Structure 1
Amino acid sequence: MQFQLKYYKVSLLFLVLTINTNGQSIQKKKWETPQAYVINEFQPKAFTIASNGSSAAIYIDPNDWKGVNHAAKNLADDIRKVTGTASRVFENTKPAKNSIVIGTIGKSRIIDQLIASKKLDVSSVRGKWESFLIQTIDGQLIVAGSDKRGTIYGIYDISEKIGVSPWYFWADVPIKKATALYVKQGRYIQDPPKVKYRGIFINDEEPSFGQWARNAYGGINSKMYATIFELLLRLKANYLWPAMWGKSFNEDDPLNPVVADEYGIVMGTSHHEPMMRSQKEYTNRKEQIGEWNYATNKKNIDQFFLEGLQRNKNFDNLITIGMRGEGDVAMGEGNDLENIKTLQDVVKGQREIMEKVYKDNPANHPQLWAIFTEVQRYYDAGLTVPNDVTLLFCDNNWGYIRRTMPEKEKNRKGGAGLYYHIDMNGGPWNDRWINTTTIPKLQQQFHLAYESGLDRIWIVNVGDLKPKELPIDFIMRFAWNPDVIPADKTMDYTVDWAGRIFGKEHAEEVADIVSKYTKYNLWRKPEAQVPNIFSIVNHYESDRVLKLWKDLVEKAESLQSKIPVQARDAYYQLVLYPVKASAGVAEIYLAADKNMLYVKQGRLSANDYYKRAHELFEEDQKLSAFYNDSIAGGKWKNMMSDIHIGYKMWSMPKANTLPEMKQIKPLQEPSMGVALEGSELSWPDPVQKAALPLFDGLAKSSYYIDVFNRGMGTFEFEAKADKPWVKLSQNKGLVEKESRIEVNIDWDILPDGTSEALIEIRQGKKILPVHITAVKAAMPKINEPYFGSLTGEFSIPSNKYNANIPGDNAKWVILSDLGRSDASIGIDPVTAPSAAIESAPRLEYKIFLPKMGKAKFCLGILPVQDINPERGLRMAVALDNQTPQILDARKGLVDTFGEYTPSNLAHSKVLKPLPALSMDIDFIGNGKLRRNEVFDNLRWLDIELDAEQSGIHTLKVFMIDPEIVLEKIVVNPDNSHTSYFGAVPIQHNLK
């Protein structure tokens, strides 16, 4: 019985299966794991790739594409790597029995003969983009591609299934060994990719990538690029923007474009390098060409464009058109209208050059126009390009797309695409050194792009390529078919990724580690670390952050010994180094924060944190040195050379430097000091009364008192409360450096209402009174969980709702692990129409407010950009049955490439917004951090609602526009006790 298995290859776990048996179709669920077509034990009618020390021969037509020949030879060697026995490759149109036959439809006489004899039905792939089928016919294994890359992808699909990872070179992923390899009888069809052009941009490549390439290959040349071409093809990608910092792909090594074309890679140039010319090609000829100004120097610039296109016309290119100013800045000194007119002339001239070079309609040759930085402003003002040109929209440099597909462009022949950054050198700030992009964020943003119609090109700025392996892998696989990795399956993808590299036994642990380190980095990217981000004195925030990092490091280090020896190099690159190095940078700033606070308070332990920061600084250097000099026998020398500690502006500093710290000189005699949770002050203080924050009977608050030494030696202290409902963890102690007293309340004996007490801290004749205020109240009867507070601020995670009511055209859905918290809430479908209040999806949260009157609500949303300026980024909020109030996130919106006027979007004392963003912004002022939605990855929308009575209320959140993603809600922010994350969420009345 013959069957057909139709699959979409992203990885084995990503397949959508249709099994046809006797004409019946059974649709399996997404993510249900099928049997792979490659097996290690013989089955009847299975094709034998290798067994008993021998392997099947490979036959290709000598007239087939060179890239097919190259990939076939790689497959032969991959079989050797797996089994120890290489297959022989024959360029012959008469294959022997029991052989692997590879060819491109219309290019391979072997394949065409099978089609003519009706032994091979290619109707499912013929004429399609980059498709292939694999089928056993008369004892032979046939790989037939619809085009050059379709055939190549079919070859590398077999390579990956037999155990050779696409990352075997670029991440030293070990080969999975086997003594025998078979292909089950059947017919396996690969449909075309959903995104036509899928590729990466090597950028910001100095010092790391450039130094590595010069050491390993003598330069950024064709030998080096061949390793990238192969990686892309093994990932089923097809497109590359080459390194361009003082580099010329076509002239530094004339073999570069030749090898790219032979491999099957479509070449392009970056968003600001038109007509297949690099910026360096112009700077090398600047005296000859003259000013880079099309309005005044059209003749010479046209000649420059003409020569570049003539040189590359025989290769497979995707041509960037348009023009920016020299050095990737805005073009021209005139106003926007003048610049738009000049750009229109540029495009007209470039199209005329294309027609001259190709002797053909330019519409027959793929082109893109990058709507980047100020060009988006020109586009919004009405600048257009020919209908066959692909509009390449962009993100805001930090991973949030600036436009979805405009409605007016839905029928554009050239379609639209996305230029996206997982690496950035420039405004608003550098993000180069390590991976700071989570898989849930990538899924959410690329899903939004794809669903809106940005599906012709996905090009991703990946910097040095390393250490961005994980996000590259995800984006390239997601691009093939975004439908098979929905938001609730991103962890499944990561587990599968880890399993393919380190084995199923450790897959879940590895996936958890890499998911967490990227998430923690996204709280505040390492290059954007500055002092005073996380609160030391409120909510144990800095201590909680430190513990999470330390727990992750411990887990990564513990797992290292369990990883097979042959996978240890890959483990260091993909897991251990990014975890330990990221944690080290984070702890340096946390230690520096405590050092400076404790110096101000006079604590001797300030010196311990000074020492710890210096130890971590040395450890950081050792970790990078081990990466550069030791892993894989020194293969990646210089690859980890980016400066990443001590940024003072957006650009990379000259050297790693520690944040400001001081050492404290102890007094000659022991002397008591006291510090309280909730305050950066210390006592004795001649002015301020010592008081702990309010104790909340609903939250069951507890706080601490630190008794510390300002001098040499030791001292004894005593602590005593004047009320029986105050409980102290210790009543006396001996202090060399510091000792902590935990203060709790016996809520059973505390009376309702507001109560006060006094704690006396005594050292000899010195007495410090610490004031206590506790609030307790009877709570209303309610059968549901709720959030609330008797004393002020409380937080609500967006996914902890009491009710989720769908709208007429959309619904709120949980987006697991997206954002700074455990999850966020977004809209499905993301292309739903804007909704009226009465038909909008609605979330409901039960909350307790202790008094009637105005209450402030701060809604934290992901920093979605102004992706559809024709309508808005709106949501609505209501309390109980009051009329909903609409919030528009565009008001005061921060755009990386433009200025904005501050509004009430941020609760100003909790998160302090920047007055503007620019390419050289300095965001440290007067010793205080001024926070910003771009760096914090969160935007705050503020609103006051009127509680008509105290007690339980229903907070309602309505979708108006579908791109809003809600992460958390902070109610009545406590401006006296600010923090980065806000109060720790506590849900009451849980059953």
Structure 2
Amino acid sequence: MVFSRRSLLGSAAVSAVMVSCGGALAAPAMREGFMLVSRGRPVNVLIDGEADQAVQHVAQSFAADLERVCGNKALLMKGLPVAASGPLVLVAVKGQSGLIDRLIAAGKLSIGDLDGQWEAFRRIVVSHPFPGVPRALVIVGSDRRGAVFGTYDLCERMGVSPWHWFADVPVARRADLVLDIPMGLSRPKVRYRGFFINDEDPCLSGWAAKKFGGVNAAMYAHVFELLLRMKGNYLWPAMWGKAFALDDPQSMVLADAMGVVMGNSHHEPMLRAQAEWHRGAKDGKRGGPWDYTRNAENLRDFWRGGIERMMSKGDGKGYDSLVTVGMRGDGDEAMAEGTATELLERIVHDQRAIIAEVTKRPADQQPQVWALYKEVQDYYDKGMKVPDDVILLFADDNWGQIRRVPKPGAPKRKGGQGIYYHFDYVGVPRNYKWINTNQIEKVWQQMDLAYRRDARAMWIVNVGDIKPMEYPLGFFMAMAWDPDAMTPAALAAYPQRWAEATFGAGQAAEIGALITRYSQYAARRKPELINQDTFPLGGIRADGLDGGAFGDLVAQWDALEADMNAVRGRLAADQLDAYYQLIEFPIAAMANLYRMYYAAAWNKLLASRNDPRANYFANQVEASFARDSDLTRRYHSINNGKWDGMMAQVHMNYVIWNDPTQQTMPSIMRVGADTPADRQNMRPAFVAPAGAPEDTIALEAVDFTRAQHGKGLRWTSIPHLGHAKGAVLALPQGQAPTGQSDAVSLDYDITVKRAGPARIILHLAPTLDTSSGQGETPGGRIGVSVDDAPMQVLQAHLEATGGAQDTPAKKLWAEAVCDNLLRLTADVGALAQGRHRVRIWRLDDNMVLQKLVIEPASPPPQT
């Protein structure tokens, strides 16, 4: 049989973006078929005898992947044998390969378009490249990582998921495999692309201790491979009490050998883990307070050690690294009260002097990044100057809303700008570390905005323990490779294509729908922010118990879990471990959590009224609490305990922002004696909630009546973004403000049943004004009008914070991120009975409209 990756994905649109659990694959129009497996036998793999270590590593992985596909070993050749025979795949770097030079000299290869490119690759099918070789697939990189990415891209196309190890995604066996090979140049659009392992205790740390004896090179080998398979190149290592280069010196050596660029987190300057400072400077460097005003000499000595270690490779270039510069306070806190701009400028100046002195080359020849995280952004906003070659790394608010991007038309920087984003966080208003609660639609909206505003030098995302962030991380890395290819259409197609590449075509549509529904439900409110009092119950009624909004949510989770179980029953046995990790556990665990708190809410209400039905719900709380432990134990037992410890995060009954010390069940109360009847399945009848008042009109934003485009902008619906059907954006993002005269607007026709004063409540994503502090009028504006009345300007006054909620704007931000929703209200005066037109005006960028609610306004107070 002949298999093509394109046919497996089953869509002509795959020429724009192809996906598995990992990277996006740009697919140029010119293609040529090449047989990788014939009658169960794989092609040979060839590299130069003196190939770069990164090429050697990826060639070994490729040979292993061929064996995964066909069941037979592939021959890996280092140097061309005298008696070569049969087809082969050649992996090489232009300018570093005698084999490539030989093909160029013979006129069989023309790859001039690789010159000067960063991490680019081409694949070319060559006839009779060498004596005895009828055909060869040549994978050639502009540099060593280009060769690595071109090879791992091919691995993904032949059915080996980037997550084959990290999520146990099975590889389908093929006796014959022919791929249509894209022949054009492929290169990344974002220069540095990676993730940050953080908040890794107790999960990743505990798992690694059991599996590998610690967070060491044996563990990082799998992390590096995962990163490279997703075509990422940059990593911030685990940092809670850990020192990457000190805990196991082989980790740094292996990263460089495989082609990974290493750095350190936003608050760990000069390739020094913060833990090193607290270990008493065991490497001979001096200690003291982490305070540059009092201990500058010791700090410079400490930082010098980081750069000296980078250069200890001994080749004059050093280990491949990107140096974080700047400084925050000890323990990832603010460095000083107020805005210490001059101090931080001096610190960066002194750090760069160390870099130049130790590397013996100008500082601008060593890649560096300055992270504008939390209060450090204030320094930037107030004019702090940083050398032009340093990457400015803007950050989100830790909850998925980007705080700052370059303004339209801003001068180009040599170093460029990037984004530090979060899928996991420890801090106010509440830690969220347990499970994936990230919508790819929201990730797309924010990162597309960043890309359109020229944040293209670095994208890095905080993923906590890596698992269970597989799905959003794969999407993030796919988009980072080619943001232009991740169009709204490609975004909409991504879940099904991901499911098809991960579980096969048979259930792909249903699994894609499951992961989309799960992501939307989970993103409404982080589980750490939920308890029995979070959502309203309808109350006790004569004909039963009204579940209210809480009941509606539980019903949605129940239906999702039922659908998930139905799909599981149709999967092959070798797919069940991956399904449990990626689909089943997240859905079952979240559904169970909602049911537990729902039962606790009813127990609390009924017990307060001395109603014996409280006992039924007490039993349900206990059963749900026990099931949570059972689900975790099952996760830790799959694949012979491979992931033991990875789901150990406490996730119930938070009372402050930080983790509880242990997992505890919600409090329950019983009424009278607990009888056998109380323990039976005597679930009372539930009554659907009464719903909104008759005079309230609720409209999904995507259900507009008319759209007025203009100023190069076009209204576009993004399905599933937000709480319901989707959201509406004016694309492309990143454009300057528009005014009423530009008439970029949406119309919604409504019918008012009863005359009277009314208000319009807009439901939006809790996005931030990305331009404040840059000399512009504050953004975050959207307009609303009814019929021919004047437009009202509504403005989002959200101020992201990492500290106390001490201003109205900070309190509003905390409420908005907890609800994952911002409500803006316009009083529109008296509306007559009958038809009206509500118009929404695009004023500022990054305003994501999800819903409109038109309701009667409260009557004015009597005087």
* TM-score scaled by length of structure 2: 0.89
Report the counterpart of residue 576 of structure 1 in structure 2. Answer: 584
Work out whether 1:934 is the aligned partner of 2:817: yes
Report the counterpart of residue 104 of structure 2 in structure 1. Answer: 115
SS in 1 for 2:77: strand
**Match among 735, 752, 757 for residue 849 of structure 1:** 752
1:431-470 superposed matches below 5 A: 431-470=432-471
Report the counterpart of residue 657 of structure 1 in structure 2. Answer: 664
Kindly provide the amino acid, as one letter, of the partner of residue 597 in structure 1: L
Report the counterpart of residue 498 of structure 1 in structure 2. Answer: 499
**Match among 946, 951, 957 for residue 834 of structure 2:** 951
**Match among 806, 812, 820 for residue 715 of structure 2:** 812
Report the counterpart of residue 851 of structure 2 in structure 1. Answer: 968
Work out whether 1:902 is the aligned partner of 2:808: yes
Q: How many angstroms does 1:52 deviate by?
A: 3.4
Cα distance change on mapping 1:33 and 1:341 into 2, 3 Å: closer
**Match among 258, 274, 279 for residue 279 of structure 1:** 274
**Match among 210, 215, 219 for residue 220 of structure 1:** 215
Work out whether 1:171 is the aligned partner of 2:78: no
State which drifts further: 292-301 or 263-272: 292-301
Q: How many angstroms does 1:888 deviate by?
A: 1.4
1:820-899 superposed matches below 5 A: 820-869=723-772, 870-871=776-777, 872-890=779-797, 893=799, 895=801, 899=805
Larger Rg: 1
In 2, Cα distance between the equivalents of 1:898 and 1:741?
A: 41
**Match among 309, 312, 333 for residue 311 of structure 1:** 309
Kindly provide the amino acid, as one letter, of the partner of residue 726 in structure 2: A
SS in 2 for 1:289: coil
Mind listing any 5+ residue stretches in structure 2 that lack a counterpart?
18-23, 129-134, 312-317, 539-545
1:666-705 superposed matches below 5 A: none
Q: How many angstroms does 1:34 deviate by?
A: 9.6
SS in 2 for 1:504: coil
* CA offsets 1:101-153 (integer angstroms, 9 cap, x no match): 22110111101221222210102223211111112212222111111011111
SS in 1 for 2:456: strand
Report the counterpart of residue 193 of structure 1 in structure 2. Answer: 188
In 2, Cα distance between the equivalents of 1:74 and 1:743?
A: 56
Kindly provide the amino acid, as one letter, of the partner of residue 793 in structure 1: T
Cα distance change on mapping 1:564 and 1:792 into 2, 3 Å: same
In 2, Cα distance between the equivalents of 1:650 and 1:243?
A: 22
Report the counterpart of residue 293 of structure 2 in structure 1. Answer: 295
State which drifts further: 847-856 or 519-528: 847-856
1:131-280 superposed matches below 5 A: 131-137=120-126, 138=128, 139-183=135-179, 188-280=183-275
Q: How many angstroms does 1:381 deviate by?
A: 1.0
Which structure: greater helix fraction?
2
In 1, Cα distance between the equivalents of 2:26 and 2:56?
A: 34
Work out whether 1:86 is the aligned partner of 2:73: yes
In 1, Cα distance between the equivalents of 2:799 and 2:39?
A: 66
In 1, Cα distance between the equivalents of 2:382 and 2:117?
A: 37
Q: Which protein has greater RCO, CA pairs closer than 8 Å, 6+ apart? A: 2
Contact 1:790/1:850, CA 8 A, preserved across alignment: no
1:422-821 superposed matches below 5 A: 422-537=423-538, 540-628=548-636, 630-665=637-672, 791-821=694-724
Contact 2:799/2:813, CA 8 A, preserved across alignment: no
Cα distance change on mapping 1:822 and 1:895 into 2, 3 Å: farther
Contact 1:794/1:973, CA 8 A, preserved across alignment: no
State which drifts further: 489-498 or 191-200: 489-498
SS in 2 for 1:103: strand
Report the counterpart of residue 315 of structure 2 in structure 1. Answer: none
State which drifts further: 464-473 or 427-436: 427-436
Contact 1:810/1:840, CA 8 A, preserved across alignment: no
In 1, Cα distance between the equivalents of 2:589 and 2:579?
A: 14
Kindly provide the amino acid, as one letter, of the partner of residue 402 in structure 1: R
Contact 2:606/2:613, CA 8 A, preserved across alignment: yes
In 1, Cα distance between the equivalents of 2:365 and 2:10?
A: 34
Q: How many angstroms does 1:428 deviate by?
A: 2.6
Q: How many angstroms does 1:15 deviate by?
A: 4.7
Q: How many angstroms does 1:586 deviate by?
A: 1.4
- What's the RMSD between the two structures over aligned residues? 2.9
Contact 1:16/1:484, CA 8 A, preserved across alignment: no
Contact 1:900/1:915, CA 8 A, preserved across alignment: no
Cα distance change on mapping 1:147 and 1:737 into 2, 3 Å: closer
Contact 1:14/1:31, CA 8 A, preserved across alignment: no
Kindly provide the amino acid, as one letter, of the partner of residue 743 in structure 2: A
In 2, Cα distance between the equivalents of 1:115 and 1:37?
A: 20
In 2, Cα distance between the equivalents of 1:192 and 1:47?
A: 22
Report the counterpart of residue 105 of structure 1 in structure 2. Answer: 94
Cα distance change on mapping 1:223 and 1:852 into 2, 3 Å: same
Q: How many angstroms does 1:489 deviate by?
A: 3.3
Report the counterpart of residue 74 of structure 1 in structure 2. Answer: 61
Cα distance change on mapping 1:447 and 1:739 into 2, 3 Å: closer
Q: How many angstroms does 1:80 deviate by?
A: 1.4
Report the counterpart of residue 393 of structure 2 in structure 1. Answer: 392
Cα distance change on mapping 1:973 and 1:580 into 2, 3 Å: farther
In 1, Cα distance between the equivalents of 2:667 and 2:381?
A: 45
Contact 2:266/2:373, CA 8 A, preserved across alignment: yes
Report the counterpart of residue 728 of structure 1 in structure 2. Answer: none
Contact 1:322/1:343, CA 8 A, preserved across alignment: yes
Contact 2:695/2:754, CA 8 A, preserved across alignment: no
Q: How many angstroms does 1:47 deviate by?
A: 4.3
* CA offsets 1:74-100 (integer angstroms, 9 cap, x no match): 111211121122111121155724322
Cα distance change on mapping 1:348 and 1:82 into 2, 3 Å: same
In 1, Cα distance between the equivalents of 2:386 and 2:467?
A: 36
* CA offsets 1:277-317 (integer angstroms, 9 cap, x no match): 00011111269421111111111111111111011131111
Q: How many angstroms does 1:11 deviate by?
A: 12
Contact 1:81/1:175, CA 8 A, preserved across alignment: yes
State which drifts further: 952-961 or 317-326: 952-961
In 2, Cα distance between the equivalents of 1:741 and 1:857?
A: 29
Q: How many angstroms does 1:243 deviate by?
A: 0.3
In 1, Cα distance between the equivalents of 2:326 and 2:88?
A: 50
Kindly provide the amino acid, as one letter, of the partner of residue 368 in structure 1: V
Kindly provide the amino acid, as one letter, of the partner of residue 178 in structure 1: R
State which drifts further: 353-362 or 537-546: 537-546
Cα distance change on mapping 1:93 and 1:813 into 2, 3 Å: same
Q: How many angstroms does 1:430 deviate by?
A: 1.1
Aligned residues: 815
SS in 2 for 1:619: helix
Q: How many angstroms does 1:373 deviate by?
A: 0.6
Contact 2:15/2:29, CA 8 A, preserved across alignment: no
Kindly provide the amino acid, as one letter, of the partner of residue 149 in structure 1: R
Q: How many angstroms does 1:947 deviate by?
A: 2.5
Kindly provide the amino acid, as one letter, of the partner of residue 529 in structure 1: I
Kindly provide the amino acid, as one letter, of the partner of residue 639 in structure 1: M
Kindly provide the amino acid, as one letter, of the partner of residue 309 in structure 1: I
In 1, Cα distance between the equivalents of 2:389 and 2:766?
A: 32
Cα distance change on mapping 1:857 and 1:118 into 2, 3 Å: same
Cα distance change on mapping 1:967 and 1:196 into 2, 3 Å: same
In 1, Cα distance between the equivalents of 2:831 and 2:41?
A: 83
Contact 1:443/1:486, CA 8 A, preserved across alignment: no
Cα distance change on mapping 1:93 and 1:310 into 2, 3 Å: farther
Contact 2:450/2:734, CA 8 A, preserved across alignment: no
**Match among 46, 66, 86 for residue 59 of structure 1:** 46
State which drifts further: 794-803 or 598-607: 598-607
In 2, Cα distance between the equivalents of 1:48 and 1:959?
A: 52
Q: How many angstroms does 1:633 deviate by?
A: 1.2
Contact 2:761/2:853, CA 8 A, preserved across alignment: yes
